Amino acid sequence: MIPSSETQANTPGIDASRSSIPAIEIHDLHKIYNGFHAVDGLSVTVPQGCFFGFLGPNGAGKTTTIKMLMGLAQPNGGTMQVLGMPMPEKSLEIRREIGLVPDDTLLFDYLTGAEYLEFVARLYGLSRPLAKERGRELLDLFELSENRRKLIGEYSKGMRKRLAMGAALIHRPRLFLMDEPFEGVDAVGARLMKDILLEQVRHGATVFLTSHVLEVVERLCDQVAIIHRGKVLVQGTLSELREKAASGASTLEDIFVSLVGAERYSDKLDWL
């Protein structure tokens, strides 16, 4: 659990009436860029309290979908409900309940890690003393305390990911949107991040995760959706996906390759 002096009574919980509402409900979503359908009729439902894997090849529409869920891109059609609230009509209320780790980790390079965490916490309405306290605790948790005076612009990619994870956690969100959160993070840091996310799910939060490391998704996720060319090909538990994939597909990688239709490369170049 995230260390904090704030009492549990002041922590947003997820009661029975909330948990019956999907964390994310997307129906017939479309997003077009210069005539290209980045998202093309996508429909997906994510239960609350679920660790959900959102998978697809490069360019499948995963990051675009996350941007629309955050209100950072406007759809050309379809509907989105996040935590029972319509997006984009309730975008401000929804953002208060979301912790985001974007793929590009666009942070403020001229702030220190401590300054950035305090800044994010204050945006979410935490008092200055609590923002400073949680920031210190998160820097310790993610082993960034030794770099307390270092500017974010001097961070490695893995350090930036860990700091972005800290910023996503600082306000105790109900929903995490995570776009390749483990990319560039060393094994120890990635294990810590996974353990924290699993604990958040045990306490009722929802994690919506994209990753190209399918072994990680297979170990972590309760449900998976595989998308291709802006559409959902299949959604369900791993056992349900096995039933829908080609015969002999046992691992998530096998299922993914079977459904997306990747071709073997061994006969493409004679000299390889």
Return the H-helix or E-strand segment holding 263: none
C-alpha dist (Å) from residue 110 to 69, 114, 140, 143, 175: 28, 12, 21, 20, 28
Q: Would 60 be classed as within a structural domain?
A: yes
Q: Would 160 be classed as within a structural domain?
A: no
Distance CA 172, CA 200 (A): 9
Return the H-helix or E-strand segment holding 123: helix 113-123
pLDDT at position 265 over 60? no
Distance CA 174, CA 24 (A): 11
Q: Would 246 be classed as within a structural domain?
A: yes
C-alpha dist (Å) from residue 233 to 70, 107, 227, 253: 23, 34, 5, 15
Q: Would 112 be classed as within a structural domain?
A: no
Question: What is the count of structural domains for the chain?
Answer: 1
Residue 111: name the closest of 71, 150, 60, 61 by CA.
150
Q: Would 226 be classed as within a structural domain?
A: yes
Supply the mean pLDDT for the chain. 88
Please answer whether residues 146 and 176 qualify as being in contact, where contact means their C-beta atoms are separated by less than 8 angstroms: no
Cis check: omega of the bond before 88, within 30 degrees of 0: yes
Question: What pTM was computed for the model?
Answer: 0.89
How confident is the model over 217-232, as pLDDT tens digits? Answer: 999 999 999 999 999 9
Q: Quote the pLDDT of residue 233.
A: 93
CATH of residue 246's domain is 3.40.50.300
Q: Would 193 be classed as within a structural domain?
A: no
Could you list the residue range(s) of the whole structural domain that residue 54 is in? 21-97+175-180+222-261
Strand runs labelled E in 89-148: 98-101
pLDDT higher for 266 or 72?
A: 72
Q: Would 270 be classed as within a structural domain?
A: no
What is the rounded average pLDDT of the residues 81-101?
Answer: 95
Distance CA 241, CA 55 (A): 13
pLDDT at position 172 over 90? yes
What is the rounded average pLDDT of the residues 40-64?
Answer: 95
Angle subtended at Cα 171 by Cα 10 and Cα 134, rounded to the nearest 5 degrees: 90
Distance CA 23, CA 208 (A): 9
pLDDT at position 12 over 50? no
Question: β-pairing, 85-87 with 77-82?
Answer: antiparallel
Q: Would 257 be classed as within a structural domain?
A: yes
Residue 107 main-chain phi, psi, to 5 deg: -110, 175
How confident is the model over 52-63, as pLDDT tens digits? Answer: 999 999 999 999
Question: β-pairing, 206-210 with 98-101?
Answer: unpaired
Residue 23: name the closest of 174, 165, 156, 232 by CA.
174
Q: Quote the pLDDT of residue 262.
A: 59
Residue 20 binned pLDDT confidence (cut-offs 50, 70, 90):
confident
